[in-house]
Amino acid sequence: MVNFLDLKKINEKHKIELLKACERVIDSGWYILGKEVKEFENEFAKYCGTKYSIGVANGLDALILTLRAWKELGYIAPGDHVLVPANTYIASILAITENDLIPILVEPDKKTYNISVENCKKNITSKTKVILPVHLYGQISEMDEIVAFAKDNNLLVLEDCAQAHGASLSGIKAGAWGNAGAFSFYPGKNLGALGDAGAIVTNDIKLYEVINALRNYGSHKKYENIYTGVNSRLDEIQAAMLKVKLNYLEEDIMARRKIALNYLNNINNINVILPFCSQVEKHVWHLFVIRSPKRHKLIEHLDAKGIQTLVHYPIPPHKQRAYSNLNSLELPFTERLHDEILSIPMDPTLSQDHCNRVIDAVNEFK
Ligand SMILES: *Cc1c(COP(=O)(O)O)cnc(C)c1O
């Protein structure tokens, strides 16, 4: 069996270090917002190249709290429009609607499947206040163009970096381009905790301070509440796990790039569309997503060969029951993508032999 992602194997490599870190937290007697969170925040900000980082409970909260903080700061207001790629994971859209903002679903670029500035231009109005690029599958969006477009139109930029820890463009990492970047450390992400976790990175001290309070009941000082905040704190124990795993992120990215290169160089089935990437640094290959108009048959073929695959994602947000108000939107390229995409095994521990088995099986598909 070729596993899609073997989380047990990934974490087993660091078991001794992870256990030691657990023990340190247990023995400290301090479990919420202490030394581990502070140290991880500093190390993660340094890794991303930003001044600040704030640990939160998960990636969805990282997105929600950033938009919420911009409302508290008076930068945006309910009813404002947010440009977002139509083919993103539902979390990006939930963060917008949770804040009573309006998601404007933009058809993605035909090659990268990331947000297209050209299509954003067609959707901009006086209500547009935010652009929320999603670095889908691990590939950073065209942030130079996006930031220029945002400047021209007075938009705030919130990067959804949940799939793209460490991806970079012109030497600037995902999260450091926008006014803020939101990360998830869900176990299956490229930097994964052993439970739920997330973070926001930013260079804006005001945003940093507001989110710091919002995540902790709206309070900077115990029992004094400035905002009607929430409880969305990063646990000390998860911060300790993440400190261990951050040390291996670059190594894992290299392993993913090697697998991706092997796939790109050796999958030659003319009925399969391979992912597009113009520069090595741009992509950290959270997922390796191919396309086939006969996806269902391809899944069956690979399954028969013992190869696990997944679809990210089978239903676009605007076709979900939860967004019945958006169901009538017509987004043909997005819909086509959702019918054709297939994620094949991508795991930093994937062996050369398993990688070759995937290549042979995809090439044999007719
Ligand atoms: C995983 C993911 C999120 C949400 O992260 P959680 O930690 O699961 O809440 C948000 N956006 C994208 C693009 C994701 O892939």
Indicate which residue's Cα is closest to atom 14 of ligand 1: 162
Please check whether residue 227 is in contact with residue 210, taking contact to mean a CB–CB distance below 8 angstroms.
Answer: yes
Contact at 8 Å (CB) between 198 and 185? Answer: yes
pLDDT of residue 74: 98
Pocket test for ligand 1, best of 61, 89, 185 (most atoms within 8 A of CB): 89
Length of the chain: 366
What is the per-residue pLDDT for 85?
A: 98
Residue 251 is given by DSSP the state H
How confident is the model over 89-136, as pLDDT tens digits?
999 999 999 999 999 999 999 999 999 999 999 999 999 999 999 999
User: Quick one: pLDDT at residue 256?
Assistant: 98
The confidence score (pLDDT) of residue 91 equals 98
Point out the ligand 1 atom lying closest to the alpha carbon of residue 184.
7
All residue ranges of the chain with pLDDT < 70 are none
Nearest to 286 by CA among 162, 171, 158: 162
Q: Closest ligand 1 atom, CA of 185?
A: 7
For residue 231, how far is its CA from the centre of ligand 1 (angstroms)?
18
Tell me how far CA of residue 292 lies from CA of 1, 58, 286, 297, 339, in angstroms. 22, 33, 20, 9, 9
Distance in angstroms (rounded) separating the CA atoms of residues 203 and 113: 28
Structure tokens at 8: 């047990």
Rounded to whole angstroms, the Cα distance separating 151 from 13 reads: 44
Q: Which residues line ligand 1 (CB under 6 A)?
A: 58-60, 88-89, 91-92, 134, 160, 162-163, 184, 186, 196, 198
pLDDT digits (tens, 9 = 90+) for 298-312: 999 999 999 999 999
pLDDT the model gives residue 112: 98
pLDDT at 358: 98
Cβ-based neighbours of 229, under 8 Å, separated by 6 or more: 213, 214, 215, 216, 217, 218, 219
First to last CA, the chain: 22
Distance CA 57, CA 238 (A): 10
Whole-number Å distance, alpha carbon 29 to ligand 1 midpoint, is 31
Q: Which of 269, 277, 272, 286 is nearest to 340 (CA)?
A: 272
C-alpha to C-alpha distance for 30 and 47, rounded to whole angstroms: 26
Q: Which of 185, 253, 245, 255 is nearest to 17 (CA)?
A: 245
Residue 206, pLDDT score: 98
What pLDDT does 343 receive?
98
Q: The pTM is what?
A: 0.98
Please give the distance, rounded to the nearest whole angstrom, from the Cα atom of residue 365 to the centre of ligand 1.
32
CB of 65 within 8 A of CB of 232?
Answer: yes
**Amino acid letter, residue 184:** S
Q: Are strands 128-131 and 81-85 parallel, antiparallel or unpaired?
A: parallel
Gap between the Cα atoms of 123 and 156, Å rounded: 16
Of the residues 186, 196, 284, 311, which should be mutated to test ligand 1's pocket, given the most ligand atoms within 8 Å of the CB? Answer: 186
CA-nearest of 63, 55, 4, 64 to 32 is 55
Q: What is the pLDDT of residue 289?
A: 98
Residue type, position 272, single letter: V
Which residue from 60, 141, 346 has its CB within 8 A of the most atoms of ligand 1, so it is best to mutate?
60
What is residue 299's predicted lDDT score, i.e. its pLDDT?
A: 98
The answer to whether residues 331 and 318 touch, using CB atoms and an 8 Å cutoff, is yes
SS3 call for 226: coil
Distance 182 CA to ligand 1 centre (A): 9
